[in-house]
Homo-oligomer: A and B are copies of this chain.
Amino acid sequence: MTRLEIYNQIVQKKSFLCVGLDTDINKIPSFLLKEKDPVFEFNRRIIDATKDLCVAYKPNIAFYEAEGTKGWESLQKTLDYIPNDIFTIADAKRGDIGNTSNLYSRAFFEKLHFDSVTVAPYMGSDSVTPFLHNNKTVIVLGLTSNSGAQDFQYLKLASGKRLFEEVIEKTKSWGTLDQIMFVVGATQSSELKKIREIVPDHFLLVPGVGAQGGDLISVAKNGFNKQCGLLVNSSRGIIYADSSSDFDVVAKRKAKEIQLEMEKLLNKYSIL
């Protein structure tokens, strides 16, 4: 999917929300456990409830892998169920040498038909370029929002730059603007401004608004570009907002709240 196609979705829905499908069999409402595939049934109802309010879905692959073959089946069914015009992100954080990355690329793009996959940069260019396919996007970890980000991402290099700046600077040249995005943790919104200087035109995936404590207003202020340029993810705050049989109704209300806040910001910065 191109940046323009994503932008068109954003304009149409007045939203840059990505819903994280971190679906854990141990956390979904217990009445769903009687279903044949509780994880898919949960996702199906979350998708029905939120598909008009979000522009992307991001299944966290670990949650499915933890259930083995059964989890993989739930994931496949979920991907088949998501409407085609919504951007899909395999949050997999893969990163391996060429022939292995080719296989991950086959798994996520050809078998599961994801539009994009998150990738860790430590192994360098030949771990990223195998994911560059026509109409697919690689989302490279730039700066993450977890406490461990301090361990290596902020390391000062001999050049004066910090590691995450070098990673983004170097990686952006490995593909077209449509092929590369970056993960930028929302709790680091003061850094977001600096990252926007390095990659003014790329889309950024911002996890961590909600449970991880990011602030949407400051993310918009520092991260917007002319085509919005942001996908802001919320997972637990939407999908686990309620555990009754009306969990999907509550999820819809939560997503609507975020969408309305996003609409205000899109208007404020004249993006719509």
Contact = CB atoms under 8 A, between A and B. Distances in A.
Interface of A: 22, 24, 60, 62-63, 65-69, 72-73, 76, 93-98, 100-101, 103-104, 106-107, 111-112, 120-128, 141, 144-153, 155-160, 163, 166-167, 170
A108 to B, nearest CB: 8
Contact of A144 (B24, B97, B103, B146): B97
20 contacts: A24-B103, A60-B100, A62-B94, A65-B104, A68-B72, A68-B76, A68-B112, A121-B151, A121-B152, A123-B141, A124-B152, A125-B147, A126-B148, A127-B146, A127-B148, A128-B148, A152-B170, A155-B158, A156-B158, A157-B158
A173 B67 CA distance: 31
B62 A103 contact: yes
Contact of A153 (B122, B146, B158, B170): B122
A151 B163 contact: no
Given A120-B122, A153-B124, A155-B163, A146 B66 contact: no
Given A68-B76, A93-B95, A156-B158, 5 more contacts: A66-B106, A93-B120, A127-B148, A155-B157, A157-B158
Contacts of A146: 97-98, 123-124, 126-127
Given A76-B68, A158-B158, A149 B123 contact: yes
Contacts of A153: 122-124
A146 B68 CA distance: 30
Contacts of A157: 155-158
Contacts of A145: 97
Contacts of A93: 94-96, 120, 123
B66 A69 contact: no
